[in-house]
Structure 1
Amino acid sequence: MTTTESLPSDIYAIADVHGRADLLEAMLGYIATASNDHRAKPVVIFLGDLIDRGPDSPKVLDQVCSTLDIYPDSQLILGNHDFYLRELLRGALTDEDAVNWMDWGGVATVSAYSKRPVPDFENIAADIRRVFPHHVDLVENALTFKEIGRFCFVHAGIRPGVQLANQSDYDLRWIRAGFLDHMDVFDHVVLHGHTITKSLRPEVYSNRIALDTGAYRTSRLSAAVIRRDELSRFICTELTGTGTIQVGEWRPD
């Protein structure tokens, strides 16, 4: 039986970085300072879509690798964009997936990794495997979901009426309809990204917490903090008009 005493002191769930290493660096700096203040190592759960659209996807993966080393119970949940990178590195990227990936922001990622022209995917993958073997390990070891206490951490969401163990990988990475409009409770409170919130701020519902605030275009990256199996507060790192990054926190109503 899980008790609040056996749970991590603080869990940080960060969604949809999309290549914004600047915003993630500020977020991780905040977490490091907070954990030093509390003298306990937190758990950081990255909810996927580390890459694409933004300018610094390789640096983001470096940051995530370092975070998982510093805080060993932390995890990456594989997002639909990260899935394409994993398939590329496996040599399993289909032509259809390649077209979709490039259309949805993948050009920024492969161009940041390699100077080879698109679509020279075989050699681009070889470059990444040679220079960034830790990134290969990162995406290969990523999860599709994580349960901690009464919360479930996923990228996109879950299919109502289906047990977590029986959820399809596709739904966990892609679902919108059927999940976002589901009003009844789930077995867990679901923390997710994948769909940018209408408010461009984290949004709390009776059965889920939405954390994708569109970092690649809003310059706002958000995280939820879970403490003792309850939502404690939100953290936001945001690029200001003067070019500095500010960190704000607020508590849910």
Structure 2
Amino acid sequence: MTTEKLPREIYAIADIHGRADLLDALLGFIAQDAARQGSRPVLVFLGDLIDRGPESPRVLDQVSAALDLYPGSRLILGNHDYYLRELLRGTLAPEDAVNWLDWGGVATLSAYSNRPVPDLDNIASEIRAAHPHHVTLLETALTYKEIGRFCFVHAGIRPGVALLLQTEYDLRWIRAGFLDHTDVFDHVVLHGHTITASLRPEIHANRIALDTGAYRTGRLTAAVIRDDALSHFVSTEVDGTGAIHVGEWRP
């Protein structure tokens, strides 16, 4: 994979986990900011669109529409998204199916089927028939993306291994060996997958962690990259009345 020239502005959005309400608000903020500046940003979704939250199918609709609206935008496949892709392919291993349902897959499949207990024998064909654009979205997702000095990935990378030689498992699942690695990488790594201890985006010497636990905190976070540098973050917040607010945040 070749390194691409950095666009003027990039929003990297992590771990939505079925919170279509938060993504609606964040995308609205991005659209208003783009209109104000007369710009057309690139959006990179860092994966885990689905599970745990209540509206996973609508999140896939939103992301598919955003990729069409903002040329050059891409989805990175997360570990939760991987399970749905494998189900739709008919290649989901039984042990993976059990794990997926335990880790939030029931919410996704129930949202697709409108049944509290999803019918695994038939739901894949139902989803393929009713939501072919979801199939396309998952099948065209990347495992990582390099742009300028940044590497966009779901979970992280294995230190000491070239990007082209990274395993898909590590790119989607890694924690140990990556999160505790303190030396610099060839790129600054933007990632989600592991909820930050502060529940805020965190900047480290070699990586920027963006999973702020949106499905349970109401805080969905995007990093804003301008001219090959981190500019700031944009996050949603839910107040005591349930209203969603979006604003810029700087550590």
Bin of the TM-score, shorter chain as denominator length: over 0.9
Deviation at 1:120, TM superposition (A): 2.7
Structure-1 separation of matches of 2:153 and 2:43: 13
User: Which residue does 2:242 correspond to in 1?
Assistant: 243
The DSSP-based 3-state class of the residue aligned with 1:58 is: helix
| Residue type at the aligned position of 1:217 | R
Partner of 2:142: 143
How far residue 57 of structure 1 moved from its aligned partner, in angstroms, is 0.2
Listed one character per residue, the Cα deviations across residues 3-47 of structure 1 (whole Å, up to 9, x for unaligned) are 9xx521110000000000000000000110111112121000000
Letter in 2 for 1:20: R
Q: In structure 1, give the amino acid aligned to 2:213.
A: G
Deviation, structure 1 residue 118? 4.5
1:2 CA drift (Å): 7.8
Query: Do residues 204 (structure 1) and 203 (structure 2) align?
Result: yes
Deviates more, 1:6-15 or 1:61-70: 6-15
User: Contact 2:201 / 2:212 at 8 angstroms: preserved in 1?
Assistant: yes
CA distance in 1, matches of 2:74, 2:173: 19
Deviation at 1:222, TM superposition (A): 0.5
Contact 1:51 1:109 in 2 (8 A): yes
Distance in 2, matches of 1:115 and 1:226, equals 39
Does the aligned pair in 2 maintain the 1:8–1:228 contact within 8 Å? yes
Contact 1:116 / 1:123 at 8 angstroms: preserved in 2?
no
Q: Give 4+ residue runs of structure 1 displaced > 6 Å after superposition.
A: none
Task: Tell me what 2:221 maps to.
Answer: 222
Q: CA RMSD in A?
A: 1.4
Return the alpha-carbon distance in structure 2 between the equivalents of residues 20 and 47 of structure 1.
15
Cα offset for 1:156? 0.2
- Give the partner amino acid of 1:218: T
Other-structure match for 2:111 = 112
CA distance in 1, matches of 2:160, 2:52: 34
Q: How many angstroms apart in 1 are the aligned matches of 2:180 and 2:139?
A: 31
Distance in 2 between residues matched to 1:200 and 1:145, nearest whole Å? 24
Residue number in structure 1 paired with 2:184 = 185
Residue 198 of structure 1 and its aligned partner are, at CA, apart by 0.2
The 3-state SS of whatever aligns with 1:121 is: coil
For the residue of structure 2 that corresponds to 1:161, the secondary structure is: coil
Residue identity matched to 1:48: G
1:92 corresponds in structure 2 to 91
Q: Say if 2:110 and 2:118, in contact at 8 Å, map to a contact too.
A: no
1:1-253 to 2 correspondence within 5 Å?
A: 6-115=5-114, 118=117, 120-252=119-251
Task: Give 1:49 deviation, angstroms.
Answer: 0.2
Partners of 1:55 and 1:117 lie apart in 2 by 12
Secondary structure, aligned partner of 1:232: strand
* Letter of the structure 2 residue corresponding to residue 92 of structure 1: T
Unpaired segments of 5 or more residues in structure 1?
none
CA deviation after TM superposition for structure 1 residue 72, in Å? 1.9
In the alignment, the residues of structure 2 paired with residue 60 and residue 198 of structure 1 have an alpha-carbon distance, to the nearest angstrom, of 25
Letter in 2 for 1:173: R
Paired amino acid for 1:244? A
**Partners of 2:62 and 2:126 in 1: how far apart?**
19
- Whether the 8 Å CA contact 1:203–1:211 is kept in 2: the answer is yes
Deviation at 1:116, TM superposition (A): 5.3
- TM-score for the superposition, normalised by structure 2: 0.97
Number of residue pairs matched by the alignment: 250
Gaps of 5+ in 2: none
